[in-house]
Amino acid sequence: MPVKVIIPTPLRVYAGKRASAEFNAGTVGEALKHLTTEYADLRKHLFTEDGRLRSFVNVYVNDEDIRYLAKENTATKDGDTISIIPSIAGGCCPL
Amino acid sequence: MAGEKTLWISGQLAEKIRAHGAETYPHESCGALLGRDSEATDDNSAREVLALFPLVNRRDDSPRNRFSVTAEDVLDADRAAQKQGLEVIGWYHSHPDHPARPSQYDQDHAWPWYSYVIVSVQNGSPQEMTSWRLNDDRHAFSPEGIKIRHTATV
Ligand SMILES: [Zn+2]
């Protein structure tokens, strides 16, 4: 069941300059795994070294934030679109 | 050898970023940089800020030394850019009473490609303004030169 993953502009350079990619995946986690296996250089910008999604990286299935669904276990169906949206954060010094 | 990257901006927009930092002092200001980036020309003038999209700092708990912009804000910035035929090419924020250098926290919450403009605001008055790009390996930022575009006046 192909799902489409939209690759955000800043990360396209790590994905052969593609704007999107399609994978057969039953969950969001599977789709992201396929994505970062095919484009290994993307991995560190989405996941921490221990394999968790970075806190500022938000993933949506169609228009829904997976945090409010089943996170990476969120089921996907044929034709779903997965978007990766950063939240922008920063600061000047340690708290 | 890859030369230092350059971010072009008009004097007026540069002034607006500085003024926003002064306005929110002692809290951090933040916003999106809308503009154009043409990868086709590897010329140094490839990236230019053409509009700003000021945002509200969502960090109520520690607004003096943190800023946070939700994914919804990022989508709003994207839509604002598209409406003007531009794209989000980076982000700006202020460092109240701290130098215009990226922090470890900035580095942990950044993506490459984006330009990160930082303006230092000392005692309420804007000082140095710098721009940075995160390296591919996420281990450091590289400085990006800010060049002021002097547009011809009519
Ligand atoms: Zn900062």
Residue range B34-60: average pLDDT? 80
Q: How far is the CA of A91 from the centre of ligand 1 (A)?
A: 4
Q: Looking at the complex, report in whole angstroms how far the Cα of residue A67 sits from the nearest Cα belonging to chain B.
A: 12
The helix (run of H) or strand (run of E) holding residue A84 is strand A81-86
How far, CA to CA in Å, does B16 sit from each of A94, B29, B92, B123?
Answer: 27, 11, 11, 18
Number of A/B CB contacts below 8 angstroms equals 88
ipTM: 0.91
Asked if residue B72 belongs to a domain, the reply is: yes
Q: Residue B59: which CATH number?
A: 3.40.140.10
**Total number of domains in chain B:** 1
Asked if residue B130 belongs to a domain, the reply is: yes
Query: Residue B87 CB: number of other CB atoms within 10 A?
Result: 15
Which segments of chain B are extended strands (E)? 6-10, 30-37, 47-55, 67-69, 87-96, 115-122, 125-134, 141-149
Query: How many residues make up chain B in this entry?
Result: 154
Structural domains present in chain A = 2-86 (3.10.20.30)
Asked if residue B81 belongs to a domain, the reply is: yes
pLDDT at position B16: 98
Indicate the pTM of the whole model.
0.92
SS3 assignment, position A40: helix
Asked if residue B154 belongs to a domain, the reply is: no
Question: Minimal CA–CA distance to B48: which of B24, B23, B83, B14?
Answer: B14
The chain-wide mean pLDDT, for chain B, equals 90
Asked if residue B20 belongs to a domain, the reply is: yes
Domain of residue B80 covers 6-149
Task: Give A31-87 pLDDT, tens digit per residue.
Answer: 999 999 999 999 999 999 999 999 999 999 998 999 999 999 999 999 999 999 999
Cβ of residue B103 closer than 8 Å to a chain A Cβ: yes
Q: Looking at the complex, report in whole angstroms how far the Cα of residue A46 sits from the nearest Cα belonging to chain B.
A: 9
Which residues contact residue A4 at a Cβ distance below 8 angstroms, ignoring those fewer than 6 apart? A20, A21, A22, A79, A80, A81, A82
Could you give the angle at the alpha carbon of B68 between the alpha carbons of A19 and B105, nearest 5°?
90
Which residues contact residue B85 at a Cβ distance below 8 angstroms, ignoring those fewer than 6 apart? none
Asked if residue B135 belongs to a domain, the reply is: yes
Task: Give B1-31 pLDDT, tens digit per residue.
Answer: 456 899 999 999 999 999 999 999 999 999 9
Cβ of residue A18 closer than 8 Å to a chain B Cβ: no
Which residues does chain A have within 8 Å of residue B96's beta carbon, measured at their own beta carbons?
92
8 Å CB contact between A23 and A35: yes
